[in-house]
Each structure stands twice: as C-alpha cells, then as structure tokens.
Amino acid sequence: MQDSPHGQASLMSTILVVDDTPENILLLSELLQPLYLVRAASSGYRALQVAASEPRPDLILLDVMMPEMDGYEVIRQLQADARTADIPVIFVTALESSIDEERGLALGAVDYITKPIKPAIVLARVKTHLELKAARVWLQDRNAVLEAEVARRMEENLLIQDAGIRALAYLAETRDPETGNHLRRTQQYVEALCKHLRSHPRFAGFLTDHNIHVLIKSTPLHDIGKVGIPDHILLKPGKLDPDEWEIMKHHARYGSDAIELAEKDAEKPVEFLSMAKEIARYHHEKWDGSGYPDGLAGDAIPISARLMALADVFDALISQRVYKPPFSMEKSVSIIQEGRGSHFDPDVVDAFLSLQKEFLTIALLHADSEADSLYKIEQLQGKLH
C-alpha cells in the first residue's frame, strides 16, 4: 500500500473475488486486472483459505448467494480470524432489498453492490475502499510510532525522576557521612517487607504492584529533612543531649514540608512525592503513639511509614555509629522483637522475623566497608532466630 493516506491505492493491491459462478469471476477479473492483482475463489470454504494465505487480499468482493456456505457465513468466519478480520468486504449480490443490504452491513461489510454490476461503480467503490484501508493502515503505523515515542520519553522521564530522587537523597546523606549505603539497604529491606506482606489481609489492599513500586521509589527521601539540621548537631561525634535531640527530631517535619513545597510547584499531582512525604514525616512514629512528630498510633500511621520505621531501626542497629558499635544480629533481632506492639506494627515485626536471613544478605551486599562486610558475613553464618 502507499505511504500517505491521501494518495491513490497501490496498483499492486490484491483483490479477492468470491463467486460460485465462473462467468461472474471472469467478468470481475477482466474489469479489475488492469489495475490490481486479482485472486479468485469459487466457494466460501475456498475463500477463507485464500484470504488467510499470501498475498493477503486488501479487499474482498464477496457473493452472498452461494451453496454450502453463503456470503454471510463467510464474513462471520473472516471476522472471527485475526488474520483476516481487518480485510474490508464488499458484498456483490443480486439481492436488492434494503433488508438484505442492512444485514450485510450489520455483519461488517463496508459496502454493497448489486448485480448486474456496473463497471464504473465497481471500480469507484473498490478504489474508495482501498484508499480508506490504506488510510487506516497509515494511521495505525503513525499511532504505533507515536506510542513508541511516548513510551521512550516516559521511560526517560522516569530515569530522570529516579536520578533526581537519588540526588536529593544523597544531598542529605553527604551531610551525615556515617549513613553510607543506608539508602540502598533500607530501600531493599522495605521491598522485602512489601513482598512478604502483600497477601496479608491487613496489607493486601494497599500493597498492590503499583503502590509497592511507588513506595520503593519514595523510600530514599525518608531523611531528606536532615539538610535542615545544624551541623553541630547532625555531625556531633557522640550522643545528643535532650535539647539537641529535640532539634534533631525536627528533620521529620522539615522533610515533609520540603516535599510538600515541591508538590505545590508541580503542575499536577506527583504520586511518588505524596508517598515520600508521608514516609519522611511519619517513619519515626511508634505503634503505641509515643513517637514523633505527631504522636500517631496504630493504623493511623501510614503503612509506608510503618515499613520504613522497622527498616530504618534495623539498619541503625546493625551499623556502626559514632555513639555505638554495630550490634549483633541476635541483639538487633531481640530489640526489634521487644518493640513488637510498642514501637512497631506487630505484623510487620512478624514479617521481619521471617526475613532475617534476607535482611542480613541485603546488609552484606551493601556493606559500608570491607570490615563491615566481614562482620556481616560472620553474622550471616551464625545462628539466626
């Protein structure tokens, strides 16, 4: 066919003529052959075979009144076959009633020519419908190209978005050098918890494939608010005093406020920002209501933040800090268990207990140093609850 929807149909378009009378096939063939490649079939069964073989017809001229299988049944079967469903069909028949014409069009025929045929009408109808088919094909091809381009640009935008998230998260991390690969580890801990809990009755409604994807994308921004904490507190080489700790706790609000400003600047809602905002604000809330900044309790704490809370605490427990050495896996698990129902959602703790080896494997994969890696190997080889 042609490469523009506005030109003439190709001279090599293929027409299938279907009629049980040889004289009618001969008449139509002689009329069409100077302009088109003509194939013929003298029965409905043969027509279905020819239509599904190469070269596929671009248009079918189909007699209605044929023995064994009439034209109505032929068009039904043509449209039921994916190989032939898009071939336009023109009925050519001696039936002249409007009821017959309506029936043919209702079955999917694109036109209806009555016998005895008038050559000029046949040629005009054939030309028109070949050009319409060519236009449809051209539009489909153009749409396919446009869809591919849209998909490419969306993928590119997602890559830019992911890079932007990482850049913002690393900005916070550069001001708190002890965190190392904390972002990667906590992101993968959360992913493991999501996959384990996705079929749990309390979590299944939220942990859809889509929400899991958005949640995992959002987790690196959980501590973005630390950029607002003064250096003398954030970088203090030791434990914070009560006043300093109160200031440090502000990072949860700083983070959610900054993300909310970004949301307001966006032309339309950005889903991962909404999720990132709730994680940043609520990942220090506790199940019993004793957390910060808002003292939320139980199911009032968003699921995303409940998962992040456990991932964040676990990683802090097994990691080196200026104010403590890394705790053993046994001690870390014990602390998490002690927080079941007070600090953490009990079901999230139960999921963690089932995933201990996977958590430690993630910690090993993204260890901060060779010494840290060797330590975690020892833990991995040791006794796990």
Q: What is the CATH number of the domain that holds 319?
A: 1.10.3210.10
Residue 124 located in a structural domain: yes
pLDDT tens readout for residues 218-248 = 898 898 898 888 988 888 888 899 999 999 9
Has residue 216 been placed in a domain?
Answer: yes
- 372 is a domain residue: yes
pLDDT band at 102 (very low <50, low <70, confident <90, very high): confident
Q: Is the same domain home to 352 and 207?
A: yes
Looking at the fold, whether 248 and 364 belong to one and the same domain comes out as yes
pLDDT band at 2 (very low <50, low <70, confident <90, very high): very low
Burial class (CB in 10 A: 0-12, 13-18, 19+), 46: middle
pLDDT for res 80:
93
Q: Clarify whether residues 134 and 210 are in a common domain.
A: no
Domain count for the chain: 2
Whether 202 and 88 share a structural domain: no
Mean pLDDT, range 353-376, rounded to an integer: 81
Claim to verify: residue 212 and residue 75 sit in the same structural domain: no
Q: Residue 188: which residues within 8 A CB-CB, separation 6 or more?
A: 362, 365, 366
Nearest to 229 by CA among 216, 214, 244: 244
Angle, to 10 degrees, between the axis of helix 209-218 and the axis of helix 271-282?
60
User: Model confidence over 307-344: pLDDT tens digits?
Assistant: 999 999 999 999 887 777 888 889 999 999 999 999 99
What would the mean pLDDT of 86-96 be, rounded to a whole number? 87
Please tell me the predicted confidence (pLDDT) of residue 262. 81
Which of residues 131, 146, 161 is at a domain's end? 146
Based on the fold, state whether residues 101 and 192 are members of the same structural domain.
Answer: no
Torsion from C-alpha of 210, 216, 218, 219, nearest 10 degrees: 150
**CA-to-CA distance for 325 and 176, rounded, in angstroms?**
17
Q: What DSSP string runs through 76-104? A: HHHHHSTTTTTS-EEEEES---HHHHHHH
Record the pTM.
Answer: 0.61
Q: What is the mean pLDDT of residues 290-308?
A: 97
Residue 27 lies in a domain: yes
The answer to whether residues 91 and 220 belong to one domain is no
Lowest-confidence range among 80-94, 231-245, 263-277, 296-310? Answer: 263-277
Mean pLDDT highest for which of 4-13, 144-153, 173-182? 144-153
Say yes or no: 202 and 349 in one domain: yes
* pLDDT for residue 169: 67
- Residue 17's pLDDT is what? 95
Q: Is the pLDDT of residue 28 over 70?
A: yes
Of 259 and 189, the one with more pLDDT = 189
The mean pLDDT value of the chain amounts to: 86
In a domain, 140, yes or no: yes
Residue 135 lies in a domain: yes
Residue 133 belongs to domain with CATH number: 3.40.50.2300
| 166 pLDDT tier (thresholds 50, 70, 90) | low
Pair 102, 197 in one domain: no
For range 352-377, the mean pLDDT? 81
Token reading at 13 = 């378009």
253 shares its domain with 206: yes
Q: What is the span of the domain harbouring residue 115?
A: 14-146
What is the DSSP track for 309-374? HHHHHHHHHHS-BTTBPPPPHHHHHHHHHHTBTTTB-HHHHHHHHHTHHHHHHHHHHT-SSHHHHH
What is the 8-class DSSP label of residue 228? G
Asked whether 105 and 112 are in contact (CB, 8 A), the reply is yes
Q: In this prediction, what percent of the chain has a pLDDT beyond 70?
A: 86
C-beta of residue 252 within 8 angstroms of C-beta of residue 283:
yes
> Smallest Cα–Cα separation from 16: which of 44, 43, 37?
37
Q: Tell me what pLDDT residue 385 has.
A: 45
56-77 pLDDT, tens digit each: 999 999 999 899 899 999 999 9
Query: In this structure, are 33 and 132 located in the same domain?
Result: yes
Query: Does residue 162 belong to any structural domain of this protein?
Result: no
Q: Same structural domain for residues 141 and 183?
A: no
Structure tokens at 278: 């709730």
